Amino acid sequence: MATEFERYMAHGIKDNPHGTVSVIIPVRDAGKYIDRMIRYIRSNWNKKWGELEVIIVDDCSRDNTKNLADKEADLVISMPKPRGKGACVRAGMEKARGDFRLVIEPRRIKEIDRAPMFLEWLKSGIDMAIGNRFASSRQKGYRGNLAGLIAKRIADMSIAPELSDLRSGFIGFNRHSGKKLYDASILNGTGNDAEIAGLALRNGMRIREVPIVESDAPPVREMLRFKTAVSLVADSMRLKAHWKKRS
């Protein structure tokens, strides 16, 4: 008897001249909003962006997340035990059928209208498009924030040259790069995005940052920029230690 996933794969996905896009969302205990979140994505999706596939990866929720997601998502993957964001996204990449994959954390769902900017880069041959909360005309990045700027420069030497934000919660990949990077990753949890970017740079992949806030949005708070810069340093130290063990 065919499994749920075998039946899902056999059903196929609609043809679209713009390609197919898998939106992968890792969640845990999201029962209060998961159904509305998926409906929001569908209602704001334009077929010109590509045929949409919504994949929910449930990291052992203790509420009714899975039951609600089953009614709205194209595929729901249930992790056998809590594994963290990285393992959840890896599972989603294994099952995704799209030509392009967008990994979006629940807190970034309202930025789904930025998807065309990610897809434009990915369709042009870029391997990884990563969201940047500081990249707009009114954001100053790390300029004017000396402590954050120093931390960012330290991180540049380790893992993230020219990348300003590795914790935006919105990343895009093409089919090949997404699976390759997550297959090679070893870290789970919040630091995983930094590891993925580091692996991409080590493998000579091309990365572009994409603004995920409107150009006229209020500037990001100084403390958030500083915390982001510090997290880059912390993530780079963790990665260096893990890569050293593996070499």
- Domain membership of residue 75 (yes or no) is yes
Q: What's the pLDDT score for residue 14? A: 58
- Domain membership of residue 1 (yes or no) is no
Report CA-CA distances (Å) from 65 to 32, 36, 92: 8, 12, 16
Where in the sequence is the domain holding 102, given as residue range(s)? 8-246
Residue-by-residue DSSP string for 180-214: HHHHH----GGGHHHHHHHHHHHTT--EEEEE-S-
- Domain membership of residue 94 (yes or no) is yes
CA 164, CA 240: separation in Å to the nearest integer? 19
Q: What is the number of alpha carbons within 13 Å of residue 36 lying toward its C-beta?
A: 6
Q: What's the pLDDT score for residue 148? A: 56
Report helix, strand or coil for 130.
strand
CA 200, CA 178: separation in Å to the nearest integer? 10
pLDDT tens digits, one per residue of 73-107: 999 999 999 988 889 999 999 999 999 999 999 99
Q: Which residues of the chain have pLDDT under 70?
A: 1-17, 135-162, 187-191, 214-226, 229, 246-247
Number of domain units in the chain: 1
What pTM does this model have?
0.82
**Cα-flanking dihedrals φ and ψ of residue 124, to 5°?**
-85, -5
Share of the chain above pLDDT 90, in %: 48
CA 132, CA 29: separation in Å to the nearest integer? 26
pLDDT tens digits, one per residue of 29-52: 999 999 999 999 999 999 999 999
- Domain membership of residue 3 (yes or no) is no
CATH number where 179 lies: 3.90.550.10
